[in-house]
Structure 1
C-alpha cells in the first residue's frame, strides 16, 4: 500500500447500510491496520462527565482520520466503572461514530473490558448492545489468575465479541506474559488482534513470536501499544518462525494513549509506515525522522520522569492547551500533573513542527466539534 503523508491509510470495505455490512467493514479495517486512539474522559471542574467535550474529542479523532476508537480503556480511566460511567461513555462514542459512518467512513469501535470473567463478559455484552466491534481485554487487576485462567477468560469474552489481546506494561498494572500465552491466545478463533504495550523490546518480540507460531497467526493483526517505540514497531519487519517456517510479521497499526493527542499527525505517520512497508524509501525516511521527537513528546506526556504518575493528566494537558478539554481533571482528585510536567509538554510541542501543525487543525475544527450534533445518529 502507498499513501501520501497527508492522507489516512486506505480503508478497505466501504461503509454500507446494514449493521452486518458495517461490522464487516470495521473488521476489514482492523485487519488492514489503522489509527485507534485510546479515548480520554472529559470531566468538568466538579469531576463530572462533560458530555459536550466528550463528543468533541470523538469528533476530533474521526475528523483527524482515525479509523477507530478505544473506549473504556486505561486512558479513559478504569475508575469510570466505579462512577457508573461505563455505559454512558461508550454510548457517546458509539453515537458520534455512527454519524461518521453514516457519512461513508468505516470506524472500528473497541471497548475496553476488565475484571474477573463475569465482569468482563458483562462489559462485552454492554459493548455489543451499543454496536461495538471488538473488545480490548485487559490483564490488569487479576493477580491470582495464571495464564491458563486468562486464556479461559478471553475465550469466554470471545463468545460475545471479537477479542483484542493486550500486553500491558507493569508500571500501570500489567504483568509478564509468555510466548506460549500469545500462541494460545492466537489459537482462539475469537482473537482478531493483539496490542503490544509491555514497553519492552524483548517482550514485544516474544509476543510476535507467539502469535506467528499459531496456525491462525496470520488472522491476528498486530497493533503497537508501545508508546515509547511507535516508529520502531511500525517500521520493523519481524522475521520469526511460523508453523511452516520463517515468516515476516509487521505491526499494521496502533491502539495508543499517545495517539489520543496529535492524532492527525499519527494518521500521517501510519500512512508513511504503510508506504515504507511497500518499499517507499522516502516515506521510511520521513517516519524515521520523527522517531526521537515522538519519543520525547511521549516522555513528557506520559510523565516518564515521574514514573508515569501523570500519564492521564498529561494527555489531558495537551488537549487542554488546544481547547478540546477545559482542564486536566481526573476522577481521582489526587491524580494530576507531576511537578514540571506542564513545562515539559509546552516545550516539546513548541519544538517539533508536526506537533505545532496540529494546533492549527484543532483550532479550525473546534467550533464545529464543540457544537450541537448535526442531526440524529443513523439507526
Structure 2
C-alpha cells in the first residue's frame, strides 16, 4: 500500500502549502571521492538551523551518479536521521526519483520505507515517450509516494512538456506540488495554466526551481482566465539548487516575499534583489559555460565557508568551468549582503561535531 499525502502529519502538509525554502541537498565527498558522512550531516544541520522547511535529497545537486555508486539509500538515510534529531519544526522530506518506471517505483519504495514524505519526480530518462506514456509512468510512481512534479530545463537534460501534460499530471490525486525549473517564462506559464485547467490549485502547490528568476516568481500573481473567470495562483516557495548555499539569507528573502504578497505592495528594494540574486546564480551555476560547473560551483561556495573540504564530484570531469572561480570571487565581493558567511562561522564547529 503506497503512501498518500493525506497520511502525512497535518503540520507537514501545512508547511509545504504555505511555502518554504527547500535546498537541493549536495553530496559531501572526501579527496578519494568517497562519501564524507560527517560533512554530509553538517550540511543537513546547516540547512535545518538556517530555517529550511524541507530537504530535497537524491536530486540533481546530490548527483544522479549516487545510484551507480550505491549511495542512494545511505545518503537519504543520513538526511532523514539528521532531520529526526536536529529539526525544531516540521520538515518536508523529499527524495529525488529518476529513471524509467521500474527504477522510479523502486526508488519511491526505498524513500517511503525511510520515512520520506514525497518524491521529486524527474522525467529526464523518459525522452522519446509520448504524453500517454509519461502520464502512465507518473501514475505508477504516484501509487507509491506523493509526487512533486519537476519541469527540468532542457539544457541539463529535461524534456519539453506542454500544458496538456501538466493538466493531466495535476489531475493525479497523489500529486502535491510542482517544481518549475524550465528557466523559461513561457514554459513556466504552461505549468501554471495546466494546474489551473486541472482544477488542482488547492491541492498542487507551486514551487519555483527557476534559479535565474527567483524573486519575481515569488511575488508575481498569475491571473489565469478559466471557465469564464480569473483564477489567481501564487508560487509559494522554492526548491532550488541555488538555495543549497547562503540558506539563512534565502529564508530571509522568502519571508520578505511572503510579507510583500500579504501587504499587496512589492517594495522596489525587493525587486532590486532580483538582478543581484540572478547575477550570483550565473556565477554559481556557471552559465557562461552552459552550466558545466553547476554542481562544483555550489560546492565551491560551501568549501569557502568550511562546510565542505573540497569541490570533488563523483565524476572527476565535473569541476569549475573556465573563469568560474573569478566570477565567484566577483559576486562574493559585490553582494556581501546575500551571503551568510557570519552565520556559518558562528555554528560550523557545532555542525561538524
Question: Scaled by the length of structure 2, what TM-score is found?
Answer: 0.96
Inter-partner Cα distance in structure 2 for 1:27 and 1:50: 32
Deviations 1:159-200 (A, max 9, x none): 111100010000110011000111111111011000100000
**What does 1:261-340 correspond to in 2, within 5 Å?**
261-279=245-263, 281=265, 284-340=267-323
> RMSD over aligned Cα, in angstroms?
1.4
Q: Which residue of 2 aligns with 1:17?
A: none
SS of structure 1 residue aligned to 2:287: coil
Inter-partner Cα distance in structure 2 for 1:99 and 1:62: 11
SS of structure 2 residue aligned to 1:176: coil
Inter-partner Cα distance in structure 1 for 2:163 and 2:317: 37
Offset at residue 280 of structure 1 (A): 5.5
Q: Which residue of 2 aligns with 1:15?
A: none
Offset at residue 151 of structure 1 (A): 1.4
Q: Which residue of 1 aligns with 2:190?
A: 206
Residue 93 (1) aligns with residue 54 (2): no
Contact 1:27 1:133 in 2 (8 A): no
Q: Moved runs in structure 1, 4+ residues, more than 4 A?
A: none
Residue 62 (1) aligns with residue 48 (2): yes
Offset at residue 216 of structure 1 (A): 2.3
Q: Which residue of 1 aligns with 2:3?
A: none
Contact 1:235 1:284 in 2 (8 A): no
Inter-partner Cα distance in structure 1 for 2:227 and 2:348: 50
Residue 106 (1) aligns with residue 93 (2): no
Contact 2:135 2:169 in 1 (8 A): yes
Offset at residue 334 of structure 1 (A): 1.0
SS of structure 2 residue aligned to 1:278: helix
SS of structure 1 residue aligned to 2:289: coil
Inter-partner Cα distance in structure 2 for 1:57 and 1:162: 25
Work out which of the residue numbers 60, 76, 81 in structure 1 matches 2:67.
Answer: 81
Question: Scaled by the length of structure 1, what TM-score is found?
Answer: 0.89
Contact 1:214 1:243 in 2 (8 A): no
Q: Which residue of 2 aligns with 1:362?
A: 344
Deviations 1:261-280 (A, max 9, x none): 01111101110111111116
Q: Which runs of 5+ in 1 are unaligned?
A: 1-19, 372-379
Contact 2:58 2:64 in 1 (8 A): yes
Inter-partner Cα distance in structure 1 for 2:97 and 2:61: 13
Inter-partner Cα distance in structure 1 for 2:247 and 2:73: 25
Offset at residue 244 of structure 1 (A): 6.0
Work out which of the residue numbers 10, 26, 34 in structure 2 matches 1:24.
Answer: 10
Inter-partner Cα distance in structure 2 for 1:181 and 1:197: 15
Inter-partner Cα distance in structure 1 for 2:141 and 2:307: 34
